[in-house]
Amino acid sequence: MVVNEQNSMVVINKLKFTYPGIDGHPPPGSVPLIEDFSLTLDAGDRCLLVGSNGAGKTTILKILGGKHMVEPEMVRVLGRSAFHDTSLTSSGDLAYLGGEWRREVAFAGFDVAIQMDISAEQMLFGVSGVNPQRRAELIKVLDIDLSWRMHKVSDGQRRRVQIGMGLIKEIKVLLLDEITVDLDVLARADLLTFLKKECEERGATIIYATHIFDGLENWPSHIVYVAHGSLQLALTMNE
- Domains observed in the chain: 1-93+172-179+211-239 (3.40.50.300)
Mean pLDDT, residues 112-126: 77
User: Quick one: which of 225, 219, 191 has its CA closest to 57?
Assistant: 225
Weakest-pLDDT range from 5-9, 35-39, 45-49, 120-124: 5-9
What percent of the chain stands above pLDDT 70?
87
Give yes or no for a contact between 113 and 104, defined as CB atoms under 8 angstroms apart: yes
- State pTM to two decimals: 0.85
